[in-house]
Amino acid sequence: MDKQDIIKKLTENHQEFIACVSQLSADEFSVSKNEKWTAGQQLEHILLSVKPVGLAFRLPMFLLKLIWGKSNREGRSYDELIARYHAKLANGSKATGPFIPKKVDLHHGQKLKASLTNEVAKLGKAIEKRSEEELDQYILPHPLLGKLTLREMLYFTIYHVKHHEKLIEKS
């Protein structure tokens, strides 16, 4: 995917996720089944994972290089990255530390949806300012997947929200 495809898919997937969460009743939004996260917690988790990506994309490239370096390998395709994520999940990997949501009530959920929409829009604008080459050269750390190129991090972000949407739909 090129930058424009990424921005389009990122926006669409997050809008679909917010629409999914928005159509839930108060009970569906806040009830946990099988000790899994509630839909509200899924929403907060997605926001908690998009925010640092957006922040990183708004940093100057020299800071990214200074803090995390540059890629020394060929970038993975979308499908390769998702297969790697599934393998980590199959081995029991889960969200950690700052990515674990707190309890979310319906009122707070409204604020979270607005914040997520805003964060995705800011991320889209930040992506537009990066070159295709920068997306493949610079890296960011991912808590489960290790060092990812900027493009790979965006692929993950595109997929991650759909993964959590499916979890909401299953419950």
What is the Cα 18 distance to its own chain's centre?
13
pLDDT in tens, 78-119: 999 999 999 999 999 999 899 999 999 888 999 999 999 999
With a cut of 90, say whether residue 171 has pLDDT above it.
no
Quick one: what percent of the chain has pLDDT higher than 70?
100
Determine the pLDDT at residue 34.
75
Element (H, E) at 148: strand 146-149
DSSP SS3 for 36: coil
pLDDT in tens, 137-151: 999 999 999 999 999
Predicted structure pTM score: 0.95
CB 137 within 8 A of CB 70: yes
